[in-house]
């Protein structure tokens, strides 16, 4: 696993989000669900294991196909009791 730094977050996309139709689906619903893998030292709102909702076009690719990188302010919400 890679350690995030500063305000960055590594997020593993949920299985239902890993489709070739992700971009097409995003035209109607530009939000994505994932699990936090790693957080930087400046991140206060989430921790590894949290299930989050974030805006699709804010992510960057990472070292793994199903893992993306975002900034903390790209998070739209955290699912409770997940």
The answer to the question of residue 1 being in a domain is no
Residue 75 · residue 53 · CB < 8 Å: yes
Q: How many domains does the chain have?
A: 1
Residue 5 confidence (pLDDT): 94
Distance CA 81, CA 46 (A): 14
Residues of the chain predicted below pLDDT 70: 16-31, 82
Task: Provide the b/e sequence for 31-62 (b: ≥16 CB within 10 Å).
Answer: ebbbbbbbbeeebeebeeebbbebebebbeeb
The answer to the question of residue 34 being in a domain is yes
CATH of the domain at 32: 3.90.180.10
Residue 18 confidence (pLDDT): 46
What mean pLDDT, rounded, does the chain reach? 82
Rounded percentage of the chain residues whose pLDDT exceeds 90: 54
pTM of the predicted protein model: 0.79
Residue 82 confidence (pLDDT): 64
Residue 68's domain comprises 8-78
């Amino acid at each position: 696993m890679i350690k995030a730094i500063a305000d960055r977050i590594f997020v593993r996309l949920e299985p239902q989000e890993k489709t070739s139709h992700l971009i097409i689906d995003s035209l109607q619903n530009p939000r994505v669900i994932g699990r936090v893998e790693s957080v930087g030292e400046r991140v206060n709102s989430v921790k590894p294991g949290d299930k989050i909702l974030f805006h699709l076009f804010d992510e960057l690719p990472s070292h793994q196909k199903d893992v993306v990188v975002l900034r903390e302010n790209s998070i739209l919400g955290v699912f409770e009791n997940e």
